[in-house]
Amino acid sequence: MDAHQTSSSEADILGAVICTSCESLYQVADKRLSCENCGHSLMLAEASGDTERLNLALPKFSLAGKLADAADRQIQSQGLLFESGGESLREQMEGHVSCGWCGVHYDERPTDPNCTTCGGVLPPPPSLELGDPPPVTPRALPRQFLMRLYGRYAISAWIGVVMMVSAVVIAVMSESALTALVLFLVGLALSSNFWIARKRHRGLKDGIPTEGKIESVHRYGEQQKGSTPMYRVYFRFEANSEPVRSMKFTYDSTVINHFVGEPVWVVYLPSEPACCDVWPPLA
């Protein structure tokens, strides 16, 4: 990352507004008072080194400052005061990344822009500027991604195939036609997930690139220790001079660093805009 990209990214981060409830991020220029995702009041995320200005409100040697320090020491001695500091907002946004192709998570972003496991391009840090555009079509997608797309992501579809085969066996081996029909229809509905996977595959492989924007990021349920919450990311783009709104599911917690209005690359098929995805894809 060159000096220009670093300074630009820092400028974005220092002006970020974070929702302490659902962890959505907004640009400070939006001047939002509440989160549009959950309605919680927003808080300005200050730079970690900007402490001198804050200290002016409570001079170090003032009587109030001494009383506050004494109260802190007393509460700390009772085991009730804890340090709440953690990684900075910049470290949250740039320090770790997950590969959207194979799902490998890096606690520290590698210097190589491509994943060291599958070779797929890693998503860039959230920024007000677009990263490198997608390569020309047809794109060679990592083998690990295709295995996940038609394997792990399509487990319900495979269950549907098994149910359809079972329905045929039941119809042939017994007279339970109604049971076989119900089983076949349910299996057919589940197997339709193969078409969803196929649309995503076609969009990433042959889709034309265009600029899109993150619309919102939602989290399902409360984030508890040991659990992996699911997220829903909405994004918008224009296809054939018409606005299109799409959505992707992910279990990658790094998506909470994306903010409303963030520009992203989107690839889609002009003949079928539903065959689309963000580039690089979400983990």
Is the pLDDT confidence value at 18 over 90? no
pLDDT band at 47; cut points 50, 70, 90:
very low
Q: Which element (helix H / strand E) includes 124?
A: none
Q: Give residue-wise pLDDT tens across range 142-162.
A: 999 888 888 877 777 788 788
Please report, for the chain, the start and end positions of each structural domain, with discontinuous segments joined by +. 3-63, 145-191
The verdict on whether omega for the bond into residue 110 sits within 30 degrees of 0, i.e. cis, is no
Collapsing DSSP to helix, strand or coil, 216 comes out as: strand
Q: Is the dihedral of CA 264, 269, 273, 276 positive or negative?
A: negative
Percent of the chain residues past pLDDT 90, beyond the cut: 14
